[in-house]
């Protein structure tokens, strides 16, 4: 194979051998083999992203002008449905290339292998920069994300997977790019033709809620004679000159692959709170009481594998009821650790559940079938929460009920229940959780405000303080950090955070999708008054 030979020749460079790990080298070799046209255009130097549905590589090409340029090459898993692939491409071609939305340069196809070529945006993992960003950088970051959202929403695209790894940020060059339309869906009036074909089907599998949704490639059957216009796709080689081997510095550090995480929530953290005597299985039963047979199986599976400890409150979602629910009337297992026959026989609710649990809006977590662009706004709110608190990931949950519990801890249980009622969902929570003041929450987590603040729940302080330090050490460490960082904080603007940002955060994290702020409206928010564009 031409591709393989080319690589062999190039692979002999000593530097190359040292730079690229063997497994990555093999992956690159394989990519050249399956899509040989690539080798005549690109010198692939690294793997920069790997997900469930794609692998992304860094490639360099010599342009006709003589300039060398870097590209991101996204190789989609060959089992992806052609329409799904075409829809992802159509989002990039129709809406991309402007307003902080990634565009597409080219697309290669060989048999069922598709490689999308995009301009490369160098970026650092969010987790590495989140705590060091100045307030002004945060304001700019969120502004540019909202701008991208306004743009795609105008096209009737619901991204469905808004999170930092899908919003690339080049800190040095102040460049931003929204990527990954692999889960996107269309609004009823979407301008992306193929999103009308792409529909989510309920294909959730056992244990499937932890990472990316299994529904990613779910499709409705194509109507007969549907044309699939794959934009810019070619099985031929692009008319570009092959480039000579070049040594580059790119490596894994650039990528958004999550390394260490300092989440505010983790199931373990939450658990220390009320649980010392609770046998794990009992509380699991509580937590995992779903309304559908399928979920019973899947959640049990997850529970057996991971044995999560109890959260501070148990939550369950009852079947949708437009009117208020009297728990005692719903079934015989209310707030018990068993699932009654009524619940087991409930009809399964079909609703899209794409995305990552920690970024899912309440209406997604409760499987509300009617989901719109507001779900992306919620996710943007979670990102802002991370940016303001300096913690990422903020919510870390392996399943939807855990994620919902974590939301209630911040936004209040009564408030969440009330909002859910508006979209036809009844949530049952065993304990009342008051809503937290967002400023107090963020400032405490950031270390600007002392943990002694009375409006901050005690359990939060002990179990969520950064680093694993004992109670005794806490104060000293805190004082030290406070002293050493007070100056830099001043410079970074964290001592004078305007109320506007917490107002915006509150509007993004509106539990009710009907009243949640739209992307277009956010750009007129007073927080961005002086940002001319």
Active site residues: 161
Asked whether position 72 contacts ligand ADP by CB under 6 A, the answer is yes
With CB under 5 to 8 Å by kind, the binding choice for 309 among Zn ion, Mg ion, ligand ADP, none is none
CA 366 to chain centre: 17
Helical residues (DSSP H) of 230-373, grouped into ranges: 267-271, 280-287, 293-306, 327-330, 341-344, 362-365
Please identify which residue in 343, 420, 497, 501 interacts with Zn ion, judged by CB under 5 A.
343
Please identify which residue in 297, 340, 440, 448 interacts with Zn ion, judged by CB under 5 A.
340
Asked whether position 166 contacts Mg ion by CB under 5 A, the answer is yes
Stretch that binds ligand ADP, among 45-53, 141-149, 221-229, 258-266 (CB under 6 A): 45-53
The DSSP string of 306-339 is H-PPP-SS-EEEEPP-SS---HHHH-S-TTSSS-
Asked whether position 54 contacts ligand ADP by CB under 6 A, the answer is yes
Please tell me the distance from the alpha carbon of residue 189 to that of residue 177, in angstroms, as a whole number: 25
Q: Is 493 exposed, middle or buried (0-12, 13-18, 19+ CB in 10 A)?
A: middle
Asked whether position 121 contacts ligand ADP by CB under 6 A, the answer is yes
Cα 257 to Cα 56, 205, 386, 449: the distances in Å are 12, 24, 17, 31
Residue (356 or 406) nearer to Mg ion, CB:
356
Please tell me the distance from the alpha carbon of residue 416 to that of residue 420, in angstroms, as a whole number: 6
Asked whether position 256 contacts ligand ADP by CB under 6 A, the answer is yes
CA dihedral 454, 456, 459, 460 (to 10 degrees): -150
Asked whether position 48 contacts ligand ADP by CB under 6 A, the answer is yes
Asked whether position 296 contacts Zn ion by CB under 5 A, the answer is no
Residue (87 or 497) nearer to Mg ion, CB:
87
With CB under 5 to 8 Å by kind, the binding choice for 197 among Zn ion, ligand ADP, Mg ion, none is none
Asked whether position 45 contacts ligand ADP by CB under 6 A, the answer is no
Closest by CA position to 351, among listed 363, 365, 368? 368
DSSP letter assigned to residue 451: T
Q: Is 188 exposed, middle or buried (0-12, 13-18, 19+ CB in 10 A)?
A: exposed
Residue (120 or 456) nearer to ligand ADP, CB:
120
| Contact positions with ligand ADP (CB under 6 A) in 146-165 | 165
Contact 284, 401 (CB under 8 A): no
Q: Look at the chain and count its residues.
A: 533
Residue (51 or 457) nearer to ligand ADP, CB:
51
With CB under 5 to 8 Å by kind, the binding choice for 425 among ligand ADP, Mg ion, Zn ion, none is none
Please tell me the distance from the alpha carbon of residue 336 to that of residue 299, in angstroms, as a whole number: 16
Residue (120 or 502) nearer to ligand ADP, CB:
120
Asked whether position 195 contacts ligand ADP by CB under 6 A, the answer is no
Q: How many residues bind Zn ion (CB under 5 A)?
A: 5
Residues near Zn ion, by CB under 5 A: 331, 333, 340, 342-343
* Sites of contact with ligand ADP (CB under 6 A): 48-49, 51, 53-54, 56, 72, 74, 102, 118-121, 165-166, 168, 179-180, 182, 255-256
């Amino acid at each position: 194979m031409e591709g393989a030979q080319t690589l062999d020749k190039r692979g002999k460079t000593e530097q190359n051998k040292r730079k690229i790990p063997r497994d990555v080298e093999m992956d690159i070799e394989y990519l050249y083999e399956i899509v040989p046209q690539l080798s005549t255009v690109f010198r692939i130097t690294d793997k920069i992203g790997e997900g469930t549905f794609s692998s992304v590589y860094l490639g360099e090409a010599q342009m006709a002008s003589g300039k060398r340029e870097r590209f991101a090459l996204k190789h989609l898993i060959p089992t992806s449905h052609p329409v799904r692939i075409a829809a992802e491409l159509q989002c990039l071609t129709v809406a991309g290339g402007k307003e902080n939305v990634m565009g597409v340069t080219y697309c290669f196809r060989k048999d069922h292998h598709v490689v999308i070529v995009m301009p490369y945006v160098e970026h650092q993992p969010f987790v590495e920069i989140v705590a060091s960003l100045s307030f002004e950088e945060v304001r700019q970051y969120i502004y540019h994300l909202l701008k991208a959202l306004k743009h795609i929403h105008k096209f009737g695209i619901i991204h469905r997977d808004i999170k930092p790894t899908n919003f690339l940020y080049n800190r040095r060059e102040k460049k931003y790019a929204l990527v990954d339309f692999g889960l996107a869906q269309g609004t009823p009036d979407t301008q992306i033709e193929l999103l009308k074909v792409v529909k989510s089907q309920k294909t959730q599998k056992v244990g499937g809620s932890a990472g990316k949704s299994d529904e990613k490639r779910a499709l409705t059957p194509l109507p007969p004679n549907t044309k699939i216009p794959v934009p810019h796709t070619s099985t031929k080689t692009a008319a570009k000159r092959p480039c000579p081997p070049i040594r580059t510095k790119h490596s894994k550090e650039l990528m958004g692959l999550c390394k260490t995480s300092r989440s505010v929530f983790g199931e373990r953290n939450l658990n220390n709170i009320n649980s010392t005597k609770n046998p794990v299985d009992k509380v699991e039963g509580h937590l995992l009481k779903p309304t559908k047979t399928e979920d019973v199986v899947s959640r049990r599976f997850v529970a057996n594998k991971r044995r999560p400890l109890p959260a501070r409150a148990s939550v369950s979602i009852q079947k949708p009821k437009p009117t208020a629910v009297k728990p005692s009337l719903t079934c015989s297992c209310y707030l018990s650790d068993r699932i009654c026959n009524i619940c087991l026989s409930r009809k399964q609710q079909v609703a899209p559940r794409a995305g990552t649990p920690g970024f899912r809006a309440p209406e997604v977590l409760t499987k509300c079938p009617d989901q719109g662009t507001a779900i992306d706004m919620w996710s943007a709110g979670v990102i802002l929460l991370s940016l303001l608190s300096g913690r990422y990931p903020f919510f870390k949950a392996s399943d939807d009920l855990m994620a919902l519990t974590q939301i209630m801890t911040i936004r209040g249980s009564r408030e969440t229940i009330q909002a859910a009622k508006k979209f036809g969902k009844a949530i049952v929570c065993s304990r009342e959780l008051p809503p937290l003041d967002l400023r107090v929450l963020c400032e405490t987590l950031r270390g600007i405000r002392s943990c002694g603040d009375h409006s901050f729940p005690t359990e939060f302080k002990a179990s969520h303080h950064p680093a694993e330090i004992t109670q005794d050490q806490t104060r000293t460490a805190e004082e030290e950090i406070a002293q050493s960082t007070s100056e830099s904080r001043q410079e970074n603007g964290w001592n004078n955070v305007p109320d506007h940002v917490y107002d915006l955060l509150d509007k993004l994290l509106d539990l009710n999708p009907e009243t949640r702020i739209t992307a277009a409206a956010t750009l007129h928010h007073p927080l961005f008054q002086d940002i001319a564009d």
